[in-house]
């Protein structure tokens, strides 16, 4: 039988009691016959607590040592889970990212997985053991400990599932699946029994926190079936799978990223040079632009950038030397949110943009931008929840879910 | 210049403030010209806290996973110390036991160091970096994470000092040197400016907690000069060095191990078989005997064992199957302490035993046993402090210290 990969997030392993509950769940899956590989995050707020210790020493801890520090978190949760499984009479063994053969590039705090060797995992599975793997971490070719960035444990789990040709990868979290919108914001939101990789990727990229976007990318690339479930109940959850297996609704869900900001540079030189230099400077500062809009204007070009609110200050600092030209001005707004509508062919579907804008009646839409399967509206942060509720109601999402499988 | 190895214990790195103070001390030593290698323990009670988490899950956590769990502790302290040094503009890098090439046998929770490769440490030192190394931990030939047992960070530091041919190994702790007796028990105790390896080994083996006995053994074998100092002040501390450099007092100090117990088996078969089987069973249970006494008696032999109090219950369980013989009886006493007098030629010195016994006037001495340089007296635990005070006064230790160097 093919192995099953399960991933448990920080909330699911936040205490020894929760770890014991997870152990019971793993034993049940093993009894059902699966060779088991389990990826864990650090317990509860451990990662934040460790980060706070480092920040008490210096505002900018070096990334290499920060990775060394933070990887202590999964080391604790994985060994405790292995201890709990062995206390239940199940042979288990825990492996760090390095021991698991999670080979990454050398970019600390944001490393990318280059290869998954997994020899020790395969040997342990062949010996009948439940294998516990530290999420979020790997090792570079230079034998340096690396981390994959926030949410990286999802990526670890999917990459392992791909390398081990697992039957599927189950992501256990504190919500019981993927919803048409955040149910805390839109009470009418409906759980999706199924969603395809592309729509899931858009939802995850635009603020739906249930899965990390990179994990969805890896799952799509290697065709790993993903199953999002709650570790707190036995609700069936949501299956993320290739497109062909499911019907193609135009609209699949609504996501909101409330921690964004806009930065608009106006009065740029007429040629393309001005905007290109601005973007190059932003890139050099390591800042990811979420949306870009460049419009010509009579008084010089205007460039609008949507970025993470946390990056705004650094972006302004990076641009300061470039803005000495007379007439060049920068406006920023840290009080915005990006509300995204995700679904297949949404952008090309006749009338979708019009439908969205009319659904947003009464909301000040500052910016609208569409990709093939996603339309993002930048709105004042205070109006974001109302925007989501109106979109959810007017786009017919309340009856969106196919029946559970 | 030869490298300097410093080791900081858990109290010395118990908070970010203490870690910053340690960083200042390291910078001062580096400015004095030394290539620096710094070994750290886990912060404060971290190791105990992690152990308590595991014990909440099961009374007997498997040793392999416990090692994985506990090694998270030094990972946290070492990366924070490296962060603090870099915040002071000093290039620094932290290495785990595995990255440092601390190769051990595979005996979890009590691994022995087989080899110190240290390639990455040497390369980092050559690049002008301060190297921070996780104490207490290593890696086996099977690439399993191991720990060296309690106090193992001292051993890591001394083994590294030997492998790197360091000028000396400085052990920073919360006391400012080696005393003739525990100053909290015997206020008249005097700090020793110097002590030789053999006497230090006996003191450490008999309850003086300032140095771990194995670290003294390694220092003696490789001739590594050890320097015991406080991380809380600039007091000169105690130098541990070969015998030839110092005068040979008969008595160097008094140690007390209060966490011991006696187990006496009486009515054993007359031949040696009975006692041998008892000792074999105790050995198989992994229990270390601190003292042994076998006396013939008219009604059958008697075997007395001094052991750690924590091992008593396991020892009784191990012996239960052997004690079915009629007439065989076991007495135990968990309320004893072992008070040891350490010094050169103490056992062979005429009259020493008599002097010790007369110094212990009014104390019930249950057992007395001497090696070449150490006499151990087993006394009721409640009388141990009085025994130490009387021995300290009567054996002339109050004027024992040579002047500080």
Concatenated DSSP letters for B165-199? Answer: T-SEEEEEESSSS-BSS-TTT-TT--B-SEEEHHH
CB-based contact B84 A58, cutoff 8 Å: yes
Q: CB-based contact (8 Å) between A68 and chain B?
A: yes
DSSP string, B84-114: HHHHTT--EEEE-HHHHTEEE-S-TTS--EE
- Least confident segment among A80-84, B96-100, B229-233: B229-233
- For the domain A254-397, what is the CATH code? 3.30.2130.10
In which residue are the tokens 């993470």 written?
A308
CB-based contact B69 A54, cutoff 8 Å: no
User: Residue A244 pLDDT > 90, yes or no?
Assistant: no
Band (pLDDT 50/70/90 cuts) for residue A82 is very high
Chain A residue with minimum CA distance to B61: A83
Mutate: best of A24, A43, A50, A68, partner B, most B CBs <10 A:
A68
User: Residue B63 pLDDT > 90, yes or no?
Assistant: yes
Q: Which is nearest to A36 in space by CA: A8, A7, A6? A: A6
Q: Tell me which residue in A16, A20, A69 faces B80 most closely, judged by beta carbons.
A: A69
CATH architecture of the domain formed by B4-174? 3-Layer(aba) Sandwich (3.40)
- Least confident segment among B27-36, B182-191, B342-351: B342-351
Range among A302-306, B44-48, B239-243 rated most confident: B44-48
Q: Which is nearest to A171 in space by CA: A211, A224, A130? A: A211
pLDDT at A328: 79
User: Residue B272 pLDDT > 60, yes or no?
Assistant: no
Q: Which two tokens stand for residue A42?
A: 């650090």
DSSP 3-state of B345: coil
Q: Which two tokens stand for residue A48?
A: 């934040």
Burial class (CB in 10 A: 0-12, 13-18, 19+), B149: middle
Mean pLDDT of A9-35: 95
Share of chain A above pLDDT 70, in %: 89
Q: Edge to edge, what strands does the sheet with B367-371 contain?
A: B289-295, B301-308, B253-268, B329-342, B374-380, B367-371
pLDDT at B405: 27
Helix, strand and coil content of chain A, in percent to the nearest 5, comes to 40, 25, 35
CB-based contact B83 A120, cutoff 8 Å: no
Mutate: best of A65, A81, A87, A109, partner B, most B CBs <10 A:
A65
Band (pLDDT 50/70/90 cuts) for residue B369 is confident
**Rounded distance, CA B314 to CA A383, Å?**
67
Chain B residue with minimum CA distance to A94: B65
CB-based contact A72 B72, cutoff 8 Å: yes
The bridge status of strand A301-308 relative to strand A289-295 is antiparallel
Band (pLDDT 50/70/90 cuts) for residue A353 is low
Question: CB within 8 A of A318, min separation 6: which ones?
Answer: A281, A282, A284, A285, A287
What value does the mean pLDDT of chain B take?
Answer: 88
- Least confident segment among A384-393, B42-51, B277-286: B277-286
Q: CB-based contact (8 Å) between B64 and chain A?
A: yes
On whether the CB atoms of residues B67 and B138 are closer than 8 A, the answer is no
Q: Which is nearest to B188 in space by CA: B365, B402, B396, B405? A: B396
CA angle A65, A71, A77 (to 5 degrees): 155
CA angle A394, A398, A402 (to 5 degrees): 130
DSSP 3-state of A147: strand
Q: DSSP strand E in B17-154: where?
A: 36-40, 92-95, 102-104, 113-116, 130-134, 137-140, 145-147
**Rounded distance, CA A251 to CA A237, Å?**
19
The continuous run of DSSP H or E covering B253 comes out as strand B253-268
pLDDT at B358: 82
Burial class (CB in 10 A: 0-12, 13-18, 19+), B111: buried
CATH architecture of the domain formed by B254-395? 2-Layer Sandwich (3.30)
On whether the CB atoms of residues B301 and B335 are closer than 8 A, the answer is no
The bridge status of strand B329-342 relative to strand B374-380 is antiparallel
* B53 chain-A contacts, CB cut-off 8 A: 16, 76, 80
Q: Which residue has the higher pLDDT, B349 or B208?
A: B208
- Least confident segment among A165-169, B76-80, B246-250, B369-373: B246-250
What ipTM goes with this model? 0.72
Band (pLDDT 50/70/90 cuts) for residue B277 is confident
CB-based contact B68 A120, cutoff 8 Å: no
Q: CB-based contact (8 Å) between A58 and chain B?
A: yes
Q: Which residue has the higher pLDDT, A129 or B175?
A: A129
Band (pLDDT 50/70/90 cuts) for residue B401 is very low
User: Dihedral sign, CA of B374, B377, B378, B381?
Assistant: negative
Helices and strands, number each (H, E), in chain B:
13, 18
In which residue are the tokens 């499984």 written?
A85
pLDDT at A405: 27
Chain B residue with minimum CA distance to A100: B143
Mean pLDDT of B215-232: 92
Q: Which two tokens stand for residue B15?
A: 């908070």
Q: DSSP strand E in B272-320: where?
A: 289-295, 301-308
Q: CB-based contact (8 Å) between B50 and chain A?
A: yes
CB-based contact B58 A16, cutoff 8 Å: no
Dmax (CA) of chain B? 75
Q: Which is nearest to B177 in space by CA: B241, B228, B227? A: B228
**Rounded distance, CA A89 to CA B58, Å?**
11
Tell me how close the Cα of A178 comes to any Cα of chain B, in angstroms.
32
Range among A178-192, B124-138, B232-246, B318-332 rated most confident: B124-138
Q: CB-based contact (8 Å) between B51 and chain A?
A: no
Mean pLDDT of A29-42: 95
Q: CB-based contact (8 Å) between B109 and chain A?
A: no
Q: CB-based contact (8 Å) between B85 and chain A?
A: no
- Least confident segment among A74-83, A268-277, B210-219: A268-277
Q: What is the DSSP letter of B355?
A: H
Q: CB-based contact (8 Å) between A79 and chain B?
A: yes
What value does the mean pLDDT of chain A take?
Answer: 88
pLDDT at B402: 39
CA angle A229, A233, A236 (to 5 degrees): 45
Q: CB-based contact (8 Å) between A88 and chain B?
A: no
Range among A308-312, A374-378, B121-125, B362-366 rated most confident: B121-125
User: Residue B297 pLDDT > 80, yes or no?
Assistant: no
User: Dihedral sign, CA of B178, B182, B184, B190?
Assistant: negative
**In this predicted model, what pLDDT tens digit does every residue of A204-230 receive, in sequence order?**
888 888 898 889 989 988 999 999 999
B136: left (phi over 0), alpha (psi -120 to 50) or beta: left
CB-based contact B57 A94, cutoff 8 Å: no
**Domain boundary assignment for chain B:** 4-174, 254-395
Query: Length of chain B, please?
Result: 405
pLDDT at A297: 55
Q: Tell me which residue in A65, A71, A94 faces B83 most closely, judged by beta carbons.
A: A65
Q: Which residue has the higher pLDDT, B348 or A39?
A: A39
Q: Which two tokens stand for residue A204?
A: 């995850």
User: Residue B296 pLDDT > 70, yes or no?
Assistant: no
The continuous run of DSSP H or E covering A66 comes out as helix A63-70
**Rounded distance, CA B215 to CA B200, Å?**
10
CA angle A218, A224, A226 (to 5 degrees): 95
Q: CB-based contact (8 Å) between A76 and chain B?
A: yes
- Least confident segment among B59-73, B251-265, B292-306: B292-306
User: Residue B145 pLDDT > 50, yes or no?
Assistant: yes
Q: How many CB atoms lie within 10 A of CB A296?
A: 9
On whether the CB atoms of residues B80 and A56 are closer than 8 A, the answer is no
Band (pLDDT 50/70/90 cuts) for residue A402 is very low
Q: Which two tokens stand for residue B161?
A: 């000092």
Phi, psi values for residue A127, rounded to 5°: -85, 5
**Rounded distance, CA B203 to CA B249, Å?**
14
On whether the CB atoms of residues A311 and A334 are closer than 8 A, the answer is no
**Rounded distance, CA A269 to CA A302, Å?**
9
**Rounded distance, CA B324 to CA B404, Å?**
59
Share of chain B above pLDDT 70, in %: 89
User: Residue A300 pLDDT > 70, yes or no?
Assistant: no
135-154 of A, contacting B, C-beta below 8 A: 143, 145
Q: CB-based contact (8 Å) between A20 and chain B?
A: yes
pLDDT at A270: 60
* B93 chain-A contacts, CB cut-off 8 A: 64-65
């Amino acid at each position: 039988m093919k192995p099953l990969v399960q991933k448990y997030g920080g909330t699911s392993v936040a205490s020894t009691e929760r770890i014991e509950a997870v152990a019971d769940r793993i034993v049940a899956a093993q009894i059902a016959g699966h060779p088991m590989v389990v990826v864990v995050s650090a317990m509860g707020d451990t990662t934040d607590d460790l980060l706070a210790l480092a920040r008490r020493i210096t505002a900018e801890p070096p990334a290499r040592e920060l990775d060394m520090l933070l990887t202590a978190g999964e080391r604790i949760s994985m060994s405790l889970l292995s201890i709990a499984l062995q206390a239940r009479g199940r042979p288990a063994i825990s492996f760090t990212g390095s021991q698991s053969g999670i080979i990454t590039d050398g970019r600390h705090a944001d490393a990318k997985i280059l290869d998954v060797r997994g020899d020790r995992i395969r040997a342990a599975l062949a010996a009948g053991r439940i294998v516990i793997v530290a999420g979020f971490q790997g090792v570079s070719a230079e034998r340096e400990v690396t981390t994959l960035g926030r949410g990286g444990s999802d990526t670890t789990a999917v990459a392992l599932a791909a390398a081990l040709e697992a039957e599927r990868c189950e992501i256990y979290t504190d919500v019981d699946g993927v919803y048409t919108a955040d149910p805390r914001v839109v009470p009418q939101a409906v759980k999706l029994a199924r969603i395809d990789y592309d729509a899931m990727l858009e939802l995850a990229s635009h603020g739906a926190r249930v899965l990390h976007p990179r994990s969805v990318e890896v799952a799509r690339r290697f065709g790993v079936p993903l199953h999002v479930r709650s570790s707190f109940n036995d609700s069936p959850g949501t299956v993320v799978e290739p497109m062909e297996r499911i019907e193609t609704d135009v609209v699949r869900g609504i996501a909101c990223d409330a921690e964004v900001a806009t930065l608009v540079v106006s009065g740029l030189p007429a040629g393309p040079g001005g905007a290109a230099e601005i973007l190059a400077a932003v890139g050099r500062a390591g800042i990811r632009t979420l949306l870009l809009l460049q419009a010509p204007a009579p008084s010089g070009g205007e460039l609008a950038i949507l970025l993470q609110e946390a990056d705004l200050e650094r972006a302004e600092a990076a641009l300061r030397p470039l803005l000495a030209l007379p007439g060049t001005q920068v406006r920023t707004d840290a009080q915005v949110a990006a509300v995204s509508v995700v679904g297949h062919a949404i952008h090309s579907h006749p009338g979708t943009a019009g439908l969205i804008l009319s659904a947003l009646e009464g909301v000040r839409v500052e910016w609208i931008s569409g990709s093939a399967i996603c339309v993002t509206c930048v709105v004042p942060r205070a109006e974001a929840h109302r925007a989501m509720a109106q979109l959810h109601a007017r786009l017919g999402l309340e009856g969106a879910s196919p029946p559970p499988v």
